[in-house]
Amino acid sequence: MGTRRGVAVLLLAAVLLQTLLPASEAEGLVRIALKKRPVDRNSRVATSLSDREDLLGGGGANTLRSEEEGDIVSLKNYMNAQYFGEIGVGTPPQKFTVIFDTGSSNLWVPSAKCYFSIACYLHARYKAGASSTYKKNGKPAAIQYGTGSIAGYFSEDSVTVGDLVVKDQEFIEATKEPGVTFLVAKFDGILGLGFKEISVGKAVPVWYNMVEQGLISDPVFSFWLNRHADDEGEGGEIIFGGMDPKHYVGEHTYVPVTQKGYWQFDMGDVLVGGKSTGFCAGGCAAIADSGTSLLAGPTAIITEINEKIGAAGVVSQECKTIVSQYGQQILDLLLAETQPKKVCSQVGLCTFDGTRGVSAGIRSVVDDEPVKSNGLRTDPMCSACEMAVVWMQNQLAQNKTQDLILDYVNQLCNRLPSPMGESAVDCASLGSMPDIEFTIGGKKFALKPEEYILKVGEGAAAQCISGFTAMDIPPPRGPLWILGDVFMGPYHTVFDYGKLRVGFAKAA
């Protein structure tokens, strides 16, 4: 009788403890508080595409762990274009905001010894001398991304992710972050979750060490990305060792990893409005990439998709805007013999750097098209203005009338291809746009217009950008699709390292 009473007391105590504990602790989950970043209207959502083309071209699960267990890192959502969370490096932990990127495999953070890159001074910097667990390595390292590069050297220290502490983790102390790519970035560094096969310097990825050091019972991690950029709630979560059933509906569809390096798998046909495009009917390769904001695919299909949704090239559209709103002003400045290189800065579209115009609204991205040789890059409005100046100069030299010049430049705008394939759509037309379906594991995964169109701003100032962009990867690695956050937002994604498979289920 006493034993039963004792058991009852223990059970009652357990229930009370379960009630009093915060939900995260009661579930055995570790949750990190989320902060929202204000929307930066100068940053273009469409330019957050991770350009994996250079890397791809060169080479450079039974039952998962209990769904109520795992280490969770909350993710911040920046305009539905970047998701990033917090980690610690060293003892005591020095905090850094990083992008958790399944499309790369190294961890890097800015170093306190980064003296000559302005970007380093605007972000948290790792101080080796302040850590009791620091170990010198010194091996040089460099990583080239689409829009920028970092260079530095390897060091070793403890890395804290959630409540997990990974010991003796090899990472890169970045001592050089040239150009503007990381200057205005909303993150300090990148934590790669890809395979060791693509790790620079053959460094063992953080994820591998989590498994090898026995910090998680099953080698599984999962992503939930909250696509409501203005939501006061969470930006998302990455869970190491499990997944949260509150974040998905139904069962996951799993497909095997076909080539280690990226999380690559086979994908079937792509349908537009229920009709087959035929291009991938015989199969295409795809990768799930949390470091890519948009969804990239072969030009042949992306062009068909963009035609169906009425998309126009961003550069072409903004070129026309330049002509209609600034054309006469640009002409007047050229007729007044203003130095051509200074015209666009005088109309407020570029910032003059002494030699040429530089965008006044530099884009914040991780991976993008290659950085220009001078480390600078411009946004579409600045680029379109500079091209319009050149065209008008040529026409003025031919003594053409102002009306003919403006008409001629407007015609040239129609012929401009977008350098990244990014495209604008009419925000009022979302209701008439088709669903786009991707066949994975024999099941169709549909994206609705409100899921594949990225909206910036509200009211009359709103801009809508197609979440699809063209990228042609040649055989044998291609044709290849890169399913970035545009896809991983609507579909909860599980990365099962133990079973070498990727799983998708409708996000809740």
Alpha-carbon distance 383 to 322, whole Å? 10
Integer-rounded Cα radius of gyration of the chain: 25
Closest CA to 453 of 477, 480, 429: 429
The answer to whether residues 147 and 96 belong to one domain is: yes
pTM for the predicted model, two decimal places: 0.71
pLDDT at 9 exceeding the cut of 70:
no
Q: Are residues 87 and 153 in the same domain?
A: yes
Are 94 and 213 contained in the same domain? yes
Rounded to a whole number, what is the largest CA-CA distance in the chain? Answer: 108
Predicted confidence at residue 88, as pLDDT, reads 97
**Do 92 and 144 fall into the same domain?**
yes
Cα(69)–Cα(229) distance, integer angstroms: 27
Contacts of 58 (CB under 8 A, 6+ apart): none
Q: Which residue do the tokens 């666009």 mark?
A: 344
260-305 pLDDT, tens digit per residue, is: 999 999 999 999 999 888 888 788 999 999 988 889 988 778 878 8
- The token pair at 113 is 């010894």
Q: What's the domain count of the chain?
A: 3
Question: CATH number for the domain including 326?
Answer: 1.10.225
145 within domain boundaries: yes
pLDDT of residue 81: 55
| Angle subtended by helix axes 314-335 and 402-414, to nearest 10 | 160
Q: Which secondary structure element, helix H or strand E, spans residue 175, and what is its range?
A: strand 164-176
Structure tokens given for 15:
């229930």
Sorted by sequence, the CB contacts under 8 Å of residue 206 that are 6+ apart come out as 107, 159, 161, 166, 169, 171, 191, 192, 193
DSSP for residue 290: T
**Backbone phi, psi, residue 191, to 5°:** -115, 110
Q: Which residue has the higher pLDDT, 56 or 116?
A: 116
pLDDT tens digits along 423-460 = 888 888 999 999 999 999 999 999 999 999 988 777 77
Domain co-membership, 206 together with 253: no
- The 3-state DSSP class for residue 333 equals helix
* 152-192: pLDDT as tens digits: 999 999 999 998 999 999 999 999 998 777 887 888 999 99
pLDDT band per the 50, 70, 90 thresholds, residue 231:
low
Q: Are residues 195 and 327 in the same domain?
A: no
- Going by C-alpha positions, the residue among 250, 243, 287 that lies closest to residue 483 is 287
Tell me if 451 sits within 8 A of 462, measured CB to CB.
no
Whether residues 164 and 269 share a domain: the answer is no
Picking from 413, 433, 465, the residue at the C-terminal end of a domain is: 413
On whether both 325 and 294 belong to a single domain, the answer is no
Query: In this structure, are 347 and 496 located in the same domain?
Result: no
Distances (CA, A) of 155 to 133, 146, 173, 432: 11, 25, 7, 54
289 domain residue, yes or no? yes
User: What confidence category does residue 496 fall into, taking pLDDT thresholds of 50, 70 and 90?
Assistant: very high
Verify that 254 and 392 share a domain, yes or no: no
Nearest to 409 by CA among 423, 427, 396: 396
The mean predicted confidence, pLDDT, of the chain is 78
The fraction of the chain above a pLDDT of 90, given in percent, is 42
Integer CA distances (angstroms), 209 to 48, 185, 263, 378, in order: 29, 28, 18, 40
Mean pLDDT of 129-137: 98
**Tokens at residue 478, please?**
């291609």
Q: How far apart are CA 226 and CA 76, in angstroms?
A: 9
**Domain final residue, candidates 217, 233, 260:** 217
281 shares its domain with 184:
no
Give the residue numbers marked as catalytic.
101, 289
> Where in the sequence is the domain holding 100, given as residue range(s)?
75-217
Averaged pLDDT, 55-75? 41
Q: Which residue has the higher pLDDT, 464 or 265?
A: 265
